[in-house]
Chain A
Amino acid sequence: MRVLTLVRQVLDAEESVRIKDGAVDLDGRKLVLDTMDEYGLEQALRIRESGAEVEVVAAAIGPARCQDVLRTALAMGADRAIHVETDTKLDVIAVSKVMAGIAAREAVDLVLCGGQQADWDSQALGAAIAERMQWPQVTWTNALQLNGNELVGKHDVDEGSASFSLPLPAVITTQQGLNEPRYPTLPNIMKAKKKELRKDALEQYGATPLVKVIAESVQVKERLNKRLDTKDVHAAAAELVNLLRNEARVIA
């Protein structure tokens, strides 16, 4: 069987975000493989290591710099890589067309991608690929195994979690908790040099984004720089909860 795993390139979470002319400035910033996608890649490798006859294909869609994350994927253990190189900004529907195109051409049985994009939080891609392929999909998986020709696993639902099984072919979106991604070992980094990294053109997939980004404007919030008096730790904790709930509104 063949597994297609999407790898996106995003700003390293450790980096401070720099804003220039209203947009996030990526120049000179450290870019990494989106962790959300990395869980998918890792799971594909684990499925292969569990004994199944699996070829793992990593795909990236984007500018030339995206090949760095493909090299990371190859060094982690992907068998080969496809880079659809383009400087055009694609909306999620156009990306799904490219992914579906690759899935069809490469006769893929399983597509894996992160449940949510780390930088802009879009969650639509998995569903859009599944819709194009007319395949079943399961989102937000936190456990996944291959049993013969069937996938079994668990995923989060609003009420808690649900166990599922579904036949291949399928689309699965991944999230934190599914696994702990490996880092490339030195021998694998050296082996990856010899693996195929194919370059495709966007035109080959006939994907034209209908949504065009005219301008970006990033909202920059000043830090509150609040300091808590920690002499009374209980009062400090209560104040922190109060601030997080009523001021920052990050907890309910």
Chain B
Amino acid sequence: MATAVATVAAKRVNGGSFLIEDILPADIFTLEDLSEEQKQIAQTTADFAEKEVLANVDAIEEKQFDVTRGLLKRAGDLGLMSVDVPEEFGGLEMDKVTSALIADKISVCGSFSVAFSAHVGIGMLPLIWYGTQEQKNKYLAKLASGEWVASYALSESSSGSDAMNIRTQAVLSPDGKHYILNGEKMWISNAGMANLFTVFAKIDGEKFSAFLIEAGTPGLTVGAEEHKLGIRGSSTCPLVLADCKVPVENLLGEAGNGHRIAFNILNVGRYKLGAAAIGGSKYAFRNGIRYGKDRIAFGKSVTSFGLIQEKIAESAALIYAGEALIYRVVGAIDASLAELDKSAPDITMQVQKRIEEYAVECSIVKVWASEMLERVVDHMLQIHGGYGYVEEFPAERSYRDARINKIFEGTNEINRLITTGWMIKRAMQGRLALLPAIQRVMDEVMAGPSPKDEHTGDLAAQRGLLASAKKLGLFCAGAASQKFGNGLGDQQEIMGALADIIIEVLVLESVILRTEKMAGAKPLAIKMAKYYAARSFRIVETAAERVLAAVAEGDMLRTQMTIFRRLAKHEPENTVLLGREIATAMTENGRYAF
């Protein structure tokens, strides 16, 4: 459907199928497959981030919103906000990989990234997807150029993850020309500088709906800025709606259809958050390496010490894995969207449906990438020692700014529950052949020891780990559902542990496929893949053990642990040596590069 910027299309796969099927390296999209144009767009975005955003970081952090607005306008001039906008409204209508690439490259300052993504994502997408021709004509060009700033108001003080419980009410005026809105909104990004708000309210206390409200509309008041731990330069305020009169033509989508707007936007928000986490972690990584290289302790650069190298190596491997994961998922979404007929009247609905197919992958990206970022910024701060704890160095800001990512776009707890829950739901609906796959693994393990699958290539051992991780995931899911049946959803800790396994399966598989797809894979990429696989499998083992211990006891538990140990059996890699090699190469590069 979109302008074909990418020349390499990935294979269209079914959401969630990664747990039970294997695909070929050629079937996934990787960063190595970027087209010339995508590389140039990445470069323009990176230049903008380095030369304009970073140059203004102090003003941004001081909440000088005129500076932030100026930068948003600049981004609009460069076309960075038009990627998801249809051509008929002056947009570029490009693929999703390109928009993820922009979210990745622009992320050197959390505050600005949040302002940018709140604008182009949750700010503009509801209008693009649900707006009438008149609404789009009126607002879209102004938003795409950055002249206007958009804001999305869903959360309330007493409804966050449970978004359907909002209390804000809308009532049609007696003359039928306006909706009268009353209520309050909380944690609204961009509120302090926005021109247009997408506000959710229940018509007559029932029909969950969205409204486009212009700043300055009587009855709409923007409250005081929150004082936040991180992303301090972004605007976050409450909104008060007191008899706020909204023209009926500003109802967005149909009355009672607001939940679709709210939920479908989330999937896009989640993969873009993942892409932004990549940018943020690379920026932190570079700062950590540069500081560490110059910092002398005991007469040597601190990057020459093993325990510092361990942090560098793990961070690099995490970033490498993150790129593999995110671009694979977004590439699969593009492959699916590419099949659509752009001129179909219900094209925006079809687009959302296709993206919704990858809801589980989007949740995985969100959880994993936010935790990856947290780990990297922590490592990089630690390399700075005491200097990491003061505002003089950017490590401190990166550390604070990372934290929000585990909270917004659905908390990581909610997204872990979605991950496992979605898989189970799909299985029950018969749309994902999970139950037969579980049965096969059960049969296999009950039949006693069997020879391990043979794998070949540079990553043969890692392929073995991946196969084992998939089996362990299915085995644990089977054991847990045997024990709890339909009540499994209430066992949040077990759902969470199962999610950890599912997440690692997708990430590890992405890492292996990306590395294998690289023609003549670079030695450093292979090392990072091995390093990541070792880490990943430790997480799988821990989670599996936690599940089994919670669902069985006595002889049953002993039997299951025997099976667990058989499935988990492998010869460990020397990650000490690998870590030193990865860290040495990264330190020499002065940034994340391979």
CA–CA, A227 and B3, complex, Å:
54
Other-chain contact of B79, A15, A28, A186 (Cβ < 8 Å): A186
B-contacting residues, A143-194, CB 8 Å: 183-187, 189-190, 192-193
Is residue A72 contacting chain B, with contact meaning CB distance below 8 A?
Answer: yes
Q: Does B350 lie at the interface of the complex (its beta carbon under 8 Å from any beta carbon of A)?
A: no
A-B contact pairs, 21 of them (CB 8 A): A16-B588, A16-B589, A16-B590, A18-B588, A71-B36, A72-B43, A183-B43, A183-B44, A183-B48, A184-B40, A184-B43, A185-B77, A186-B41, A186-B44, A186-B78, A186-B83, A187-B82, A189-B41, A190-B37, A192-B40, A193-B37
Q: Are A227 and B79 neighbours in the complex by a CB distance under 8 Å?
A: no
- Are B296 and A189 interface neighbours, CB within 8 A? no
Residues from chain B with a CB closer than 8 A to the CB of A72 are 40, 43
Q: Find residues 75-105 in chain B having any chain A CB closer than 8 Å to their own CB.
A: 77-80, 82-83, 92, 94
- Interface pair A186/B92, CB less than 8 Å apart: yes
Counting from the closest, the 3 A-B pairs by CB-CB distance are A186-B79, A183-B44, A183-B47
A190 and B92 within 8 A (CB): yes
Question: Would A184 and B44 count as touching, CB distance under 8 A?
Answer: yes
Known contacts A193-B37, A227-B296: does B588 contact A186 (CB below 8 Å)?
Answer: no
Residues in A with CB closer than 8 Å to B44 are 183-186, 189
Interface membership of A75, Cβ < 8 A: yes
CA distance A30 to B83 in the complex (A): 26
Asked whether, in the complex, the Cβ of A183 is within 8 Å of the Cβ of B296, the reply is: no
Q: Tell me which residues across on chain A come within 8 A of B294, comparing CB atoms.
A: 225
Digitize B168-207: 1 where CB-to-A-CB distance is under 8 Å, 0 elsewhere. Answer: 0000000000000000000000000000000000000000
Instruction: Give the interface size bracket for B toward A.
Output: 20 to 34
A71 x B92 contact (CB < 8 A): no
* Residues 48-76 of A at the B interface (beta carbon under 8 Å): 68, 71-72, 75
Q: Which residues of B contact A227 (CB under 8 A)?
A: 296
Query: Which residues of chain A have C-beta atoms less than 8 A from B40's C-beta?
Result: 71-72, 75, 184, 189, 192
Q: Apart from A189-B41, A225-B296, what are 9 other A-B pairs with CB-CB below 8 Å?
A: A16-B590, A71-B36, A184-B44, A185-B79, A186-B78, A186-B83, A190-B3, A190-B5, A192-B40
- Residue in A closest to B83 when the chains form the complex, CB atoms: A186
- Compute how far the CA of A184 lies from the CA of B82 in the bound complex, rounded to whole angstroms: 15
Interface centre among A183, A186, A189, A193 (most CB of B within 10 A): A186
A187 and B36 contact, Cβ closer than 8 Å, known pairs A16-B589, A18-B588:
no
Please report the C-alpha to C-alpha distance between residue A30 and residue B522 in the assembled complex, in whole angstroms: 16
Interface 0/1 of B33-55, CB less than 8 Å to A: 00011001101100110000000
- From B82, B296, B589, B594, contact of A186 by CB (8 A): B82
**What CA separation (Å) do A216 and B40 show in the bound complex?**
32
Which residues of A have CB within 8 Å of B83?
Answer: 186
Determine if A186 and B47 form an interchain contact, defined as CB atoms under 8 angstroms apart: no
Smallest CB separation, A61 vs chain B (Å): 20
> How far, in whole Å, are A189 and B44 apart by their CA atoms in the complex?
9
Q: How far is the CA of A241 from the CA of B48 in the complex (A)?
A: 34
CA distance A186 to B82 in the complex (A): 9
Q: For chain B residues 125-149, which have a beta carbon within 8 Å of chain A?
A: none
Most buried by A among B40, B296, B589, B593: B40
Cα distance A186–B99 in the bound complex, in angstroms: 11
Q: A residues within 8 A CB of B48?
A: 183
Distance in angstroms from B305 CB to nearest chain A CB is 16
* Residues 173-232 of A contacting B (Cβ, < 8 Å): 183-187, 189-190, 192-193, 225, 227
Query: Which of B36, B77, B296 has the most chain A CB atoms closer than 10 A to its own CB?
Result: B36
- CB-CB nearest in chain A for B40: A189
Q: Say whether A187 contacts B79, CB under 8 Å.
A: yes
Determine the residue in chain B with the shortest Cβ distance to A18. B588
Smallest CB separation, A213 vs chain B (Å): 26
Q: Determine how close the nearest CB of chain B comes to the CB of A208; give it in whole angstroms.
A: 32
Q: What residues on B are CB-neighbors of A186 within 8 Å?
A: 41, 44, 78-80, 82-83, 92, 94
Chain B min CB distance to A155 (Å): 26
Instruction: Give Cα distance in the complex from A189 to B94, angstroms.
Output: 12
Distance of A18 Cα from B594 Cα, bound (Å): 13
Shortest distance in angstroms between A194's beta carbon and chain B's nearest beta carbon? 11
Assembly CA distance A68 to B37 (angstroms): 11
A72 and B47 alpha carbons, distance in the complex (Å) = 13
Contacts of A187 in B (CB 8 A): 79, 82, 92
Residue of B nearest to A225 (CB): B296
Interface members, chain B 256-301 (any A CB < 8 Å): 294, 296
CB distance from B582 to the nearest CB of A (A): 15
Contact with B along A8-20 (1 / 0, CB 8 A): 0000000110100
